[in-house]
Amino acid sequence: MANILTIEVGAAEIRVAEMKEEKKGSSIRRCFRFPVSPGLVEDGLIQDVQGLGDQLKNELLARKISARKVRFIVASSRIANREIRIPFIKKKRIQDLIEMNAVDYFPIDPAEYIISYRIIDVEEEGEGKEKEKKYHLMVYACPKDLAKSYGQLAEAAGLLLSCLAPIGDSVYMAVRSAYAAGTHMLIKIEDNAMLVSVVHNGELRMQRNIGYGINGAVETVQIFPAFGERLSYEEALALMMRQNCVRRTLNPDSVIVEPEDETEKIKEARTEVSQNLRYLVDNISRIMDYYLSRNPGSSFDTIECCGIGAAVLGMTQLLSHELAQKVTALKSVEGHKFAESEEGGNAEVIYVALFGVDSNSANLMEKAKRGQGRRKKHDGEDIRGAVIVFMLGAIASVVLVVFSLGNRLYQTQRQKKLNTEITKNESAESVYNAYSSMKEKYSQYEQMYDYTNTPNESLVAFLQELEQKMPSTLVIESFTSTGEGVSFSFEAANKKEAANTLMQLRKFTSLTSVATTGTTEDESGIVTMAVTAVYTQPAAMAETQQ
């Protein structure tokens, strides 16, 4: 079988693998990754198709990779997904059925979206004669402009696109066999996003996209001179993959002694790096609590990480400490083979999603463009097929006439039985209507109560503390406050002063969490730092909304 390219497109880097399909799985012959310029890929949409296509073509040529058939994996919050169950019909009719009912699954205009699906399982309900089979599907809806950009990217790179797979489907299918028994959580951590999947006995129970990644921590490594002077983003990330820059706790006052804290400056710098992972850790914790609260008695047999974040030293130790459960990097999955890799021991965690794309993947390409290579083969069979269909139709019509009378009698009896059941259960309707009315009133009262809270009470305390503890020379460039927290940016004479200001803000009694979301430095050396923080006492309205 000819080799095929599988490419995962992210906002910060592209991952490429030359793969070969085998009977017992897939193997990667060669794989590599390369960075992309900021803004080139935004939420999965290719902004500069020709520029990225030329870059991809050059990377393939440099490595003498000749495969031309390609499968893209796309990660985007604009791609919607939903689990559904449908009657057990012929597979070739499934696509038409879900497209016809798309508005029932998603609040979209079907004309602007591509609908696709993956068969998760075939389920059986009932017993005896009432036993009924159903398809358990994961349905996806992808904007057409998003899908179109990948077709154009393949064309610009001189490749033939055969599949456009969503990242959630690819990750799940890559580890499904490994998670066939028990309850498992897999956390895919990337530069600016995170995908959390919960699999129970091989079945996908929950999948959440979170808009937090490790980019804030990487930028913090760039800021602190203790890690090195004037590091680029790629250099800082590479440093974090070979040197532990992350403390194992988010508590800045922890007395835990870590051998990596060689000096006080390094300890302070590692503490700041860890603090920039707080939102990431908090969101994982919320998802764990949400799942366990809705599945009483459940527990996670394993929690594993993959993605570029799993290759960062100290990440799994931090998660293990904060989540109070052992977290490890994804172990090698049976059937996943690497013939050649530039990543060493990190190959499995970085490239795992590429193993989840196959002929049964949810394909987000336009329906008219799928399987174009097989169309000519079927054209010669159309006439013979039409003749056979005509003959079968004539025979079937005779059979239908013979059995129509018996079928009518059966349907009449079934209708009488259903009418009897409807009459017996009419009283349930009044109970349900009363419940719905009371539920609506309760929601209205709860909303009225929320409006009695003032979402800016904590702002006054913060401003007073800012005036008392910060020097008068501090320049605030922008400022935004909500009932939950505050975000602003300020100017500092240099990186050291910016770091000292950030640590001083962390000591404010009016704030519980302070983190930087990015810094910039102009030609004169003045540093502008963006900061986000959460109030110690957030407004009740904000908590309710959250």
SS3 string, 439-480, reads HHHHHHHHHHHHCCCCCCHHHHHHHHHHHHHCCCCCEEEEEE
End-to-end CA distance of the chain: give it in Å, rounded: 51
Which residue is it, tokens 């193997």? 27
Identity (one letter) of the amino acid at 468? Q
Residue 321 lies in a domain: no
Residue 346 lies in a domain: no
For the entire predicted model, the pTM comes to 0.67
Residue 189 lies in a domain: no
What is the CATH number for 536?
A: 3.30.1360
**Spatial distance between the Cα atoms of 40 and 50, rounded to a whole number of angstroms:** 11
The list of the chain residues with pLDDT below 70 reads: 1, 23-25, 340-342, 367-387, 402, 449-456, 540-546
Q: β-strand 302-306 against 45-46: which pairing, if any?
A: unpaired
pLDDT of residue 375: 43
Q: Is the four-CA dihedral 333, 244, 247, 228 of positive or negative sign?
A: negative
pLDDT of residue 545: 39
User: Which stretch of DSSP H or E encloses residue 19?
Assistant: strand 13-22
pLDDT of residue 72: 96
Beta bridge partners of 33: 15
pLDDT digits (tens, 9 = 90+) for 325-372: 999 999 888 888 877 666 777 888 999 999 999 888 889 987 656 655
Residue 273 lies in a domain: no
pLDDT of residue 341: 66
Residue 497 lies in a domain: yes
**Spatial distance between the Cα atoms of 530 and 501, rounded to a whole number of angstroms:** 12
pLDDT digits (tens, 9 = 90+) for 163-173: 999 999 999 99
Residue 183 lies in a domain: no
Of 163, 152, 192, the closest CA to residue 47 belongs to 152
Residue 296 lies in a domain: no
* Containing structural domain, residue 499: 457-545
pLDDT of residue 492: 87
What is the number of domains present in the chain? Answer: 1
Residue 479 lies in a domain: yes
Helix/strand/coil for 84:
strand
CB atoms within 10 A of CB 25: 14
